[in-house]
Amino acid sequence: MKRFMVLFLLILTPAFMLHAQEEGEEGTASMEDVVITATKTGQPVLDVPQHVTVITAEEIEESGVRDVAQILNRQAGVTVEDYGSLGAVQSLRLRGSTTEQVLVLIDGVRMNNAQSGTVDLSLVPVNSIERIEIVRGGTSALYGSDAVGGVINIITRKEADGKLKLRIENGSYIPQSYVTGIGVDQEEQDAEAGDLLDAQRVGMQFSKPIGNTHFTTSGSLYTADNEFVYKDENGDKRKRENAEIIGGDLTAALRIPLGSGDLDVKGIFVSNKKGSPGQVGLFATPNAEQKDTRVQGTVGYYTDSFISDALTLNLNTYFNYYYLNYKDPDAWPAPQDSKHKVYSTGIDFSQEVLSFNFLSIVYGGNISYDWVKSNEIGDQDRIYTGVFLETPLYITGAFTLIPMIRYDYYSDFEGTLTYKLAANQALSSTTSLKGSISKSFRVPTFNELYWPADMFGEGNPDLGPETGYSIDIGITRAGDRTSFDVFLFTRYMKDVILWQEGSDFVWRPTNYGQGLYPGLEATIGFDVIEGLYLYTEYTFLYSFALGGGNSVSDDYRLPLIPVHELDFGLNYRRNRFSTGFNGHLESKRYESVDNTDSLPSYFVVDAYYRQSIGKATVFLLSVDNVFNKQYAVVPGYPMPGLFIRTGFEFEF
């Protein structure tokens, strides 16, 4: 398959370049930073009473990132847990939350599944994205469980521009010599030229207006060996093995005018097969493999004039299916073959009443059903429903107070009441003061409740939900040349669910105790000169592990949460080319609550270059980890060194 992909790229490149040079060039449309996720109504960033970030498709394209996780990891307050290889699991944290405490949506539809509670960002196609909205802080008052650290809403393209885009890429590692074996069996291996052809991707975007209907589709095929060289604990260079992946994705959507609104129909399919190398050293799994398949179908309807001009309607029905099959023939004491099927379906709706000058009323709810069929935890299901009410009060022309309240009921847990009180004070036409206080929660996952007892782990059916209380206050400026956000925040968690090793060496989850997360987020971006943009994103987070009798004075950090996280970059765009770089720094992170072992701090730099060739062809060059830094984000999973991606994009 690898040879086929390389040959495919070589054959198509000259033909596409010749054709593209004959086509005309058109500009791209800009988009206002209007946020939907924070209040479930469209509002400018300055009017939203929280620290929010909007990442546009243009920004994603221009930044040279390879996937969703890479662009999210550059945002203040966001930390990605990356297991190293291209296509490996990528999950995220917000403001020090666990990955299960971040709610991830695609077009407003919940992606966190009831079995694991996490979302693998590597299974989210990047080429179908219109924008990403990041809302930091507890938001359970609108979205229910899991929105403890915040909400990420990935919004896909729905408007057709009548264009066809094709993109081809090759990923290369610099060939290096390495060693195999251990002790007397250790052997030196020569550098392999095949590392220059380690990864390939072919992507497509197509859209076409059909009368008043918009049809959009995108997809990609990809393959990678992921045979990068890393240094082991002895400083010897070794090659990552059993990390190969092959897969593809397809997204298709229709936007159909219906009455006074639009009917949106969308389907997403993602599937891949990959090696699962495990942790380096004694816990490596050289023959394990994993298959992932995700299917999403959504039918939604939105109108800003439902029955009357004073009433809106936003209605979504959805179906999600996720399949995971993990096999390890070498597992002890018996070969492992885990199969998990997760089904989710439901209806979400919200309406806004606009009958009054001094307030608006927003209300809505959902009902959902999750069913898991697994050879590990058996058949488990859950029905949950929730209703919310939000009443923005326009106290003056410059001050808005927004109370929110929600009640959730789960078939396997008691009902939960959450709330949020947020405020926004306009200081000028470009600056706002914002603040909020909220209560949020997360119900345990099926894995945490029902994982079968074995010699390594066991679930705990007596677990209760986690509860979080958040406060944040900050200032936002959105000017023509300069924009910034500075926010102070803190979150207190109780009944935190944590897997810990018992005296019998078996890992079990418990409602361990409490956690405290005080911190600061600061972002600034400004145009230095025309076409030259400089930005900095900084997060300070001094977490405290308060379970097991610990107090603040004991000064125990929570696992894998850096105290300092810094991103900065410089982007230049002029006429027919753009270029730039991004630097990312994370300070030391402890591996466990007892703060014994730790991962060292690291600093990496990525760079990109885009150059137009002819009228409709773009040359792409991206270099990840420019200085070939050796580091790990997750213990035992080394990150790739210097990785060069080259390719072409053709527009018809």
Give per-residue pLDDT as tens, 31-48. Answer: 357 888 888 988 899 999
Strands of 482-616 (E only): list them.
Answer: 482-501, 507-529, 532-541, 544-545, 564-574, 577-586, 589-590, 598-599, 602-613
User: What integer pLDDT is reported at residue 230 of this predicted model?
Assistant: 96
Q: What is the DSSP letter of 601?
A: P
Contact 179, 186 (CB under 8 A): yes
Q: What is the CA radius of gyration of the chain?
A: 25
User: What integer pLDDT is reported at residue 63 of this predicted model?
Assistant: 86
Residues 6+ apart with CB under 8 A from 575: none
pLDDT, one tens digit per residue, over 181-225 is 988 889 999 999 999 999 999 999 999 999 999 999 999 999 999
User: What CATH number is attached to the domain comprising 255?
Assistant: 2.40.170.20
Residues 6+ apart with CB under 8 A from 27: none
Q: Is 235 left (phi over 0), alpha (psi -120 to 50) or beta?
A: left
User: What integer pLDDT is reported at residue 183 of this predicted model?
Assistant: 83
For residue 209, what are its two tokens? 């207006």
The span from the first CA to the last CA of the chain, in angstroms, equals 28
Vertex 133 angle, CA 582 and 447, to 5°: 95
Say what the pTM is.
0.92
Sign of CA dihedral 140, 142, 147, 148: negative
Q: Which residues pair with 33 in a beta bridge?
A: none
Report how far residue 71's alpha carbon sits from residue 155's, in angstroms, rounded to the nearest whole number. 15
Q: How many domains does the chain divide into? A: 1
Task: Give the pairing of strands 102-106 and 150-156.
Answer: parallel
**Number of CB atoms found within 10 A of residue 282's CB:** 7
Q: What is the DSSP letter of 16?
A: H
User: What integer pLDDT is reported at residue 32 of this predicted model?
Assistant: 53
Backbone angles phi, psi at 26, to 5 degrees: -120, 155
Q: Which residues of the chain have pLDDT under 70?
A: 1-32
User: What integer pLDDT is reported at residue 1 of this predicted model?
Assistant: 45
Report how far residue 450's alpha carbon sits from residue 593's, in angstroms, rounded to the nearest whole number. 24
One-letter amino acid for residue 477 of the chain: R
Please give the residue range of the domain that contains residue 107.
2-651
Residues 6+ apart with CB under 8 A from 10: none
One-letter amino acid for residue 369 of the chain: Y
Contact 69, 90 (CB under 8 A): yes
